[in-house]
Structure 1
Amino acid sequence: MVNQSWLKLHPEDNLLVALRDLPAGEVITSGERTVTLSKEIKAKHKLAERDFAEGDKLYLYGVLVGKALEAIPSGGLIHTGNVVHAAETYQAKQGETHWEAPDVSRWQDRHFMGYHRKDGSVGTANYWLIIPLVFCENRNVETIREAMVDQLGYGRKEVRTVDISSLIKAYQAGADEATLRGIDPLAGKQENEKDQRVFPNVDGIKFLTHDGGCGGTRQDAQVLCELLAGYITNPNVAGATVLSLGCQNAQIPLLQAALSKRGAAGEKPVIYLEQQQSRSERDFIAEAVKKTFLALTKANHCTRAPAPLSALTLGLECGGSDGFSGLSANPVLGQVSDWLAALNGKPVLAEFPELNGVEQSLINRCRTPELAEKFAGLMRAYSDAAEAVGSGFKNNPSPGNIRDGLITDAMKSAGAARKGGTGPVADVLDYAEPVTQPGLNLLCTPGNDVESTTGLAGSGCNLIVFTTGLGTPTGNPIVPVIKMSSNTSLANRMSDIIDFDAGPVITGASSIEERAAQLLEFLVDVASGRQTTAAQRLGQDDFIPWKRGVSL
């Protein structure tokens, strides 16, 4: 890739990728073809390697990603006006699954410092949860947050919100509009030193407010309880305080049954409180605070100890993707995924709408025909549900994706799937099912960033890597989310939210394997608590349960 201005990703491709802005008139030689650009092609976008007639198939990453809507000349820009989404159909598993695992001798004896749980899992953090079973309890949860977080030393150490006190003072003193315009609300930002934690071995109290639990379908309540059970049993969690109103669909026994299914009944302390059985709201909140405080004194006994890298369950996520995501950040993460799988760790690839067009490849990688059938069934059911409401996977790319070179869903998917590396598929999971099998897992979630990361944490991931080409402030309440940029320009422009830059792969300054090794080292530091992520520092605790309606 060194010194190249364009790239052909696969021998079967008939599209080329611009690695920098290519001016009109530039001549490109691809094999025996000479391509002259009639117009400027922006970096990240695709151009035709040859002349296309209407209806011709377009290939990228070696897979079908679209069809020409009209004649496109050699060197022409590929855009939504001349190309439509198209993807290959898929069928039953073909052939045997073979994989030559990569050499992981350099990582074999590496450890991270984690929190060991009774069930054998290991956390990269140690949190206590406050969970409402229904949206009616959200206000009580917020009251508990106000009562406990700052006083226990869990307030955000660095103030990053704007300070309008200078504006207020100037306005009250009679300042005119011109004076007010000249005041910088960031000028007075200072470090806000909080007291040290009362419980130094508890990383924080997290609050999972949501708008579910009642008023929707019974299936929504069931899925919500399965998801909440996943959060309670996540290795990053010490225990939970659960607030119930009493009359909602998501009843306490429903959550307890979900916990029991996971073999977790009695494994972790869970405090259940029902407001309709309390004397008053004030007493209800006081009881929740006191019981939680007492539970934290015990959670504080757990300390970090060495754990093998096989104890990592790594969520593979992308969002705000661009035309470089599939060239740098995603394959870098895919290399880490392969190393982790070879170490008997558990990489987890989610976002099923963004696997459209690469289904057959993943089906063939499934270890058994039964897993292949389950994956195909989940994909078809999801696609059918989208089609039934007049949508479809073809509608997945966002305006930002399209603006930065991801024109069709199949094009986006072909790059997104590279996060999963090349290893065999060890298990296929529906939303909120727990990850149990070492090796690559496929988890059915939407492509929506927060709904997907919420699902990854609920299935047991103790780390998440989130690749992005455009930038996104997404985080998770209980799982460290490492944000990796596909290009250095983004890493520099949004340095406050980006943790790791894969951009050197695009410029040729680093190989995929070199950057992947650096990423894995960074993950070990995050898992050990030696590094905090930008999302953690910014308090980005995003939690949105999927209601199983159509969400792309």
Structure 2
Amino acid sequence: MAPRILRLHEADNVVIAVEAIASGAVLPGGLTVAERVPKGHKLATDGIRPGEPVRKFGQVIGFASRPIPPGTWVHEHNVAVQDFDRDHAFASEAREDRALRPGEVPAHFDGFRRPGGRVGTRNYIGILSSVNCSATVIDFIADEVARSGILADHPDIDGVVPFTHGTGCGMGAKGEEFDLLARTQWGYASHPNFAAVLVVGLGCEVFQIARLKQDYGLTEGDHFQSLTIQETGGTRKAIAAGVSRIREMLPAASRVAREPVPASELILALQCGGSDGYSGLTANPALGAAADCLVRQGGTAILSETPEIYGAEHLLTRRAETPAVGRKIVDLIEWWKAYAARGGGELNNNPSPGNKAGGLTTILEKSLGAAAKGGTATLREVYRYAEPVTAKGLVFMDTPGYDPVAATGQVAGGANVLCFTTGRGSAYGCKPTPSIKLATNSDLYRRMQDDMDLDCGDVLDGVSIEEKGREIFEMILRVASGERSKSEQLGYGRNEFVPWQIGATM
């Protein structure tokens, strides 16, 4: 049998090896393969001279760094990244997003309505540390609550979860870094997946709880409490006080019940990690189709990971609702180029070794696949990291590409459900927002079934992107209604709160 290959666009000069191809194999059309090509990787169908572009998805993913004969394996040994002009064509492809057809029944899920009108998909009690100096104490408070057994009388509460981090002091009291942490902490403190939140500080840190309360209008009550270790009298007294505060918040947290709400109340975080050569072919475009389903229902989908749209940003600027929205994307890319250079790096330091082993050669190639998670909807707005997301439809949030940091920003922005595609097998989960793991290939799904919620590898066997997208959307509704994802069953999410530390540590 001829090797299975995929040509993604008529303008491409490479094809994808669906399975490993041996040297000497003959492709459909008669081309002889010159060397072994691993599965998920690329091989040239045309001769590519040094300096000429390598094209996949009909887009430039790099340039030949040496002659690439037809039938040759195409990867980092013969492909490099260089600057080239992109036509941003701001807002040229903006359109009205397709709404529900007449007679089409709106989708619903069972969620928790919160004061102020937002809707949660989970009913946790959260414990936040204002600073790393109180991280151990909030861990001890959560552990003591678990040992006490008091949650047994409150089955409608999903758990008491501590969220520790490594900053909060040794930083400036104003400026970008402080504002970013404040947005992140406030976003979690007010998140609809929490029935109540306790914030614990040391007392003398730069990131003061009193200032957080004042700046964001947080008032103490059934849904929010705070304390500091120093004012309470030390570690043991702070732990006892924290457990007592949670006991006081339990009755109100238990009174809320799930009720049917429209899918328009969902804010979906779109994530990918441990990507491979199949990510842009299967799970990412299928998740994009699911995001389109949600947008048609009036909901919101958050695309993020700015370094991982580098090289594909022109596809988003064209879909921007206005030129001003599109220019925000370009401004972010320029900021990231300078940010990477300050650390002696460049944006093409991403992909990771695992990405490259899976078939991704350059950041341009990775970005084109990653951007597919955003589907086809018009880009309505661009947000800073952890900024509250208020627009409906497809939006973008500026985050790093590092998955836990990116997801933390999306959740702080209000995401109440998350989908995470992976081709290498990222071990990830997220609290308080449930994370649905989508495997890009069937081998991974079979190997890591305890971690993967859905196999998207069957797209390679003929399942359509639209059909798989609908399957993902229906799973989103079930998980939003309370069905436990695999990462929830495993208990992931306690250690995945990782705010972006952007500034100097002093």
Give the TM-score band, short-chain normalised: over 0.9
Tell me the distance in 2 between the aligned counterparts of 1:104 and 1:505: 26
1:229-248 matched pairs, under 5 angstroms:
229-248=186-205
Tell me the distance in 2 between the aligned counterparts of 1:4 and 1:326: 20
Amino acid at match of 1:213: G
Contact 1:102–1:339 (8 Å) recurs in 2:
no
Contact 2:441–2:455 (8 Å) recurs in 1:
yes
Q: 1:22 to 1:549 in 2, by over 3 A?
A: farther
Matched, 1:135 2:144: no
Amino acid at match of 1:233: S
Which of 114, 119, 122 is matched with 1:122 structurally?
119
Which of 15, 40, 60 is matched with 1:44 structurally?
40
Write the deviation string for residues 359-404 of structure 1: whole angstroms up to 9, x where unpaired. 1111111111221122221221112110222211111101010011
1:238-277 matched pairs, under 5 angstroms:
238-260=195-217, 269-277=223-231
Determine the structure 1 residue equivalent to 2:489.
Answer: 537
Amino acid at match of 1:212: T
SS at match of 1:35: coil
Contact 1:102–1:338 (8 Å) recurs in 2:
no
Q: Which moved more, 1:279-288 or 1:518-527?
A: 279-288
Decide which structure has the larger Cα Rg and report it. Answer: 1
SS at match of 2:54: strand
Q: 1:149 to 1:403 in 2, by over 3 A?
A: same
Q: 1:17 to 1:415 in 2, by over 3 A?
A: same
SS at match of 1:234: coil
Determine the structure 1 residue equivalent to 2:185.
Answer: 228
SS at match of 1:73: coil
Structure 1 position 105, deviation (Å): 6.7
Determine the structure 2 residue equivalent to 1:517.
Answer: 470
Contact 2:379–2:394 (8 Å) recurs in 1:
yes
Contact 1:314–1:348 (8 Å) recurs in 2:
yes
Tell me the distance in 2 between the aligned counterparts of 1:512 and 1:125: 29
1:340-419 matched pairs, under 5 angstroms:
340-419=294-373
Tell me the distance in 2 between the aligned counterparts of 1:459 and 1:101: 25
Determine the structure 1 residue equivalent to 2:249.
Answer: 295
Tell me the distance in 1 between the aligned counterparts of 2:117 and 2:476: 20
Tell me the distance in 2 between the aligned counterparts of 1:291 and 1:126: 17
Amino acid at match of 2:168: G
Which of 51, 54, 58 is matched with 1:58 structurally?
54
Determine the structure 2 residue equivalent to 1:200.
Answer: 155
Amino acid at match of 2:291: S
Matched, 1:93 2:90: yes
Contact 1:108–1:343 (8 Å) recurs in 2:
no
Q: 1:87 to 1:485 in 2, by over 3 A?
A: farther
SS at match of 2:27: strand
Contact 2:294–2:473 (8 Å) recurs in 1:
no
Amino acid at match of 1:226: R
Contact 2:399–2:405 (8 Å) recurs in 1:
yes
Matched, 1:447 2:401: yes
Q: 1:150 to 1:488 in 2, by over 3 A?
A: farther
Determine the structure 1 residue equivalent to 2:8.
Answer: 9
Q: Which moved more, 1:272-281 or 1:389-398?
A: 272-281
Which of 51, 65, 70 is matched with 1:69 structurally?
65
Amino acid at match of 1:25: G
Tell me the distance in 2 between the aligned counterparts of 1:333 and 1:304: 26
Write the deviation string for residues 19-76 of structure 1: whole angstroms up to 9, x where unpaired. 112222223346xxx5221112121001112001111111111211100000000111
SS at match of 2:436: strand
Gaps of 5+ in 2: none
SS at match of 2:316: helix
Determine the structure 2 residue equivalent to 1:492.
Answer: 446
Determine the structure 2 residue equivalent to 1:176.
Answer: none
Tell me the distance in 2 between the aligned counterparts of 1:536 and 1:80: 37
Tell me the distance in 2 between the aligned counterparts of 1:258 and 1:469: 42
Write the deviation string for residues 213-247 of structure 1: whole angstroms up to 9, x where unpaired. 00134443332221011112221111211111111
Q: 1:257 to 1:385 in 2, by over 3 A?
A: farther
Amino acid at match of 2:399: T
Structure 1 position 405, deviation (Å): 0.4
Q: 1:524 to 1:4 in 2, by over 3 A?
A: farther
Write the deviation string for residues 465-509 of structure 1: whole angstroms up to 9, x where unpaired. 00000101111120000000001110110111111110110122x
Contact 1:225–1:258 (8 Å) recurs in 2:
no
Structure 1 position 342, deviation (Å): 1.5
1:472-511 matched pairs, under 5 angstroms:
472-508=426-462, 510-511=463-464
Matched, 1:18 2:7: no
SS at match of 1:472: coil
Identity %: 35
Contact 1:48–1:76 (8 Å) recurs in 2:
yes
Tell me the distance in 1 between the aligned counterparts of 2:373 and 2:215: 30
Contact 2:92–2:319 (8 Å) recurs in 1:
no
Q: 1:401 to 1:145 in 2, by over 3 A?
A: same
* Number of aligned residues: 498
1:23-38 matched pairs, under 5 angstroms:
23-29=22-28, 34-38=30-34
Gaps of 5+ in 1: 155-196
Contact 2:91–2:321 (8 Å) recurs in 1:
no
SS at match of 1:427: strand
1:303-318 matched pairs, under 5 angstroms:
303-318=257-272
Tell me the distance in 1 between the aligned counterparts of 2:135 and 2:22: 55
SS at match of 1:28: coil
Give RMSD over aligned pairs.
2.0
SS at match of 1:149: helix
Amino acid at match of 2:43: L
SS at match of 2:271: strand
Contact 1:485–1:503 (8 Å) recurs in 2:
yes
Contact 1:487–1:504 (8 Å) recurs in 2:
yes
